[in-house]
Amino acid sequence: MKKMTYKDSGVDIDAGNESVKLIKDSVRATYRSEVLGDLGGFGGLFALSTKYKEPVLVSGTDGVGTKLKIAFMLDKHDTIGQDAVAMCVNDILVQGAEPLFFLDYLAVGKLEPNKVANIVSGVANACKESGCALIGGETAEMAGFYQNGEYDIAGFAVGVVEKSKLITSDRVKEGDILIGLPSSGLHSNGFSLVRKIVFERQNMDGSEYIDELNKTIGEELLTPTRLYPKVCLPLINKFENAIHGMVHITGGGFYDNIPRALPDDLSVDINADSWSMPPIFKLIKSWGNVDWHEMFRTFNCGIGMILIVDANAADSICRHLENLNETFYKIGNVVKSESRVTVRGGVFND
């Protein structure tokens, strides 16, 4: 009888070791001065800076979701890592936290070292842009659990903020201004609906060139989620008393996410005509015959991050963004209203 090995069951330890070799340089490039040790230990080590009097650690975890199906379909894996990082670091950012470190979890059916390196390089690049260190992770080969060529990726981020500077809903008050920062597209939400519309109703395969997008539909759908720490952290530091709240627009769109940043007795009034909506959202609406309320409940509709700021400081914050050549929009106000989120505008007449 033939002796069986782990490799016979579909798990290749040598391929796993090769993957680690391929990603080491990109991972080390993300290290901050607080990182201790090196890749390969049982746990990532990070020494918290002593500059904080009362440090509060803020953590977040998330995955990429069914957007991965499009990466499988198009065999393109270099952007999906940024999605995993962005969904985590953007979430902890809204409470004023500076992202410190990130860990990824990658589970595959069959371990292909070059593909793993491609995915993790996307993670590392996004960590570097966000200023956080990729100090560890896990790559699990799960033969028979995932289809060949398929995988799942999730992440976990930790940030820190001085307790006195923590951004909570307690700061928000009536009359505050909402400043919207553009998204890079669909980001990583609503893709179960997107895939049904694009690949089932429209019968596309991802290679179709769309004039309104100036690219293929596949390229548009795989545009990675925008990373907001680089633009928002300097704002938080410079205008710490004027930024009363922040909202990362993810699954649930405007209607579910904005109330998470508000006191129970306040609402927001948003003018959807105040920003230029990217074409992909209008195409999804048209192709799927989706009403606008459902669009704003499912997608970011072109606004990925919202700053809720003191009305007296709004112009100064806008000038700061202008000096950085950052696009922004004044999209609404905090009001007293029974409806927690009102989104209005001529777009609803389309």
Outline where DSSP puts E strands in the chain: 35-36, 45-46, 55-63, 98-108, 133-141, 151-162, 177-182, 209-210, 215-216, 243-248, 267-271, 303-309, 329-335, 341-344
Number of domains within the chain: 2
Q: How confident is the model at residue 8 (pLDDT cuts 50, 70, 90)?
A: low
pLDDT at 13 over 70: no
Backbone angles phi, psi at 41, to 5 degrees: -80, 175
CA distances 90 to 6, 33, 230, Å, are: 39, 22, 10
Predicted confidence at residue 28, as pLDDT, reads 84
Which domain range does residue 192 map to? Answer: 169-349
Residue 27: predicted pLDDT: 78
- Residue 143 pLDDT: 87
pLDDT score of 132 more than 80: yes
Q: Please compute the mean of the pLDDT values over residues 266-280 and round it to a whole number.
A: 96
Cα torsion 333, 334, 337, 339 to 10°: value is 80
Please check the confidence at residue 349 and state whether its pLDDT lies above 90.
Answer: no
* Residues paired with residue 334 on neighbouring β-strands, in sequence order: 268
Residues 286, 246 share a domain = yes
Helices (H) then strands (E): counts for the chain: 11, 14
Kindly state whether residue 31 falls inside one of the protein's structural domains: yes
Within a domain: residue 6? no
Provide the percentage of residues in the chain whose pLDDT is more than 90.
77
Q: What is the mean pLDDT of residues 283-304?
A: 96
What percent of the chain clears pLDDT 70, i.e. is strictly above it? 95
Query: Is 298 part of any domain?
Result: yes
Q: 2-11, 208-217, 330-339, 340-349: which range is least confident on average?
A: 2-11
Q: Tell me the CA distances in angstroms from 136 to 49, 157, 167, one per residue in order.
A: 19, 11, 28
Which one of 115, 150, 165 terminates a domain? 165
One domain for residues 174 and 235? yes
Alpha carbon 242 to its chain's center = 24
Q: Is residue 214 part of a domain?
A: yes
Residue 37: pLDDT above 90? no
Beta bridge partners of 162: 55
| Cβ contacts of 21 within 8 Å, gap of 6 or more | none
| Angle between helix 113-130 and 13-28 (nearest 10) | 20
Do 185 and 149 share a structural domain? no
Question: Within this chain, do residues 68 and 17 fall inside the same structural domain, yes or no?
Answer: yes
Distance in angstroms (rounded) separating the CA atoms of residues 345 and 270:
8
108 and 179 housed in the same domain: no
Reported as a single tens digit per residue, the pLDDT across 192-251 is 999 999 999 999 999 999 999 999 999 999 999 999 999 999 999 999 899 999 999 999
Please state, in angstroms and as integers, the Cα–Cα distance from residue 224 to each residue in 23, 83, 123, 314, following that order.
Answer: 20, 5, 11, 29
Banded model confidence at residue 70, pLDDT cuts 50, 70, 90: very high
**More confident position, 129 or 4:** 129
Co-location of 86 and 24 in the same domain: yes
Residues 223 and 329 in one domain: yes
Q: What is the Cα gyration radius of the chain?
A: 21
Cα separation, 232 vs 246, whole angstroms: 10
Q: 3-state class of 25 per DSSP?
A: helix
Domain co-membership, 205 together with 248: yes
Q: Which residues contact 33 (CB under 8 A, 6 or more apart)?
A: none
**Given a cut of 90, is residue 187 above it in pLDDT?**
yes
Q: Do both 108 and 208 map to the same domain?
A: no
Number of residues that make up the chain: 350
Q: Is the pLDDT of residue 9 over 70?
A: no
The C-alpha torsion from 29 through 32 and 38 to 39, rounded to 10°, is -60
Q: Is residue 129 part of a domain?
A: yes
2 assigned to some structural domain: no
Q: What is the pLDDT of residue 124?
A: 94
Cβ atoms of 102 and 26 within 8 Å: the answer is no
Which CATH number goes with the domain that contains 126? 3.30.1330.10
Q: Does residue 113 surpass a pLDDT of 90?
A: no
Last residue of a domain, one of 138, 165, 192: 165
Q: Say yes or no: 72 and 112 in one domain.
A: yes
Tell whether 325 and 210 lie within a shared domain.
yes
Residue 295 CA to residue 339 CA, distance in Å, equals: 18
Q: For residues 171 and 155, give the distance between their C-alpha atoms in angstroms, rounded to a whole number.
A: 29
Instruction: Among 144, 165, 186, give the residue marking a domain's end.
Output: 165
CB 35 within 8 A of CB 45: yes
Residue 16's pLDDT band, with cuts at 50, 70 and 90, is: low
Amino acid at site 149: G
Q: Where are the alpha helices (DSSP H) in 201-252?
A: 217-221, 229-238
- Asked whether the predicted pLDDT for residue 31 surpasses 90, the reply is no
Is pLDDT larger for residue 12 or for residue 37?
37
Asked if residues 106 and 20 have their Cβ atoms less than 8 Å apart, the reply is: no
> What CATH number is attached to the domain comprising 342?
3.90.650.10
Confidence grade of residue 127 (pLDDT, cut at 50, 70, 90): very high
Same domain for 152 and 185, yes or no, is no
> pLDDT confidence of 180, banded at 50, 70, 90?
very high
* 8 domain-assigned: no
- Position 75 scores a pLDDT of 95
Give the integer Cα–Cα distance in Å for 110 and 126: 25
Does residue 44 have a pLDDT over 90?
A: no
What pLDDT does residue 6 have?
A: 61
pLDDT for 49 equals: 82
Query: pLDDT grade, residue 36 (50/70/90)?
Result: confident
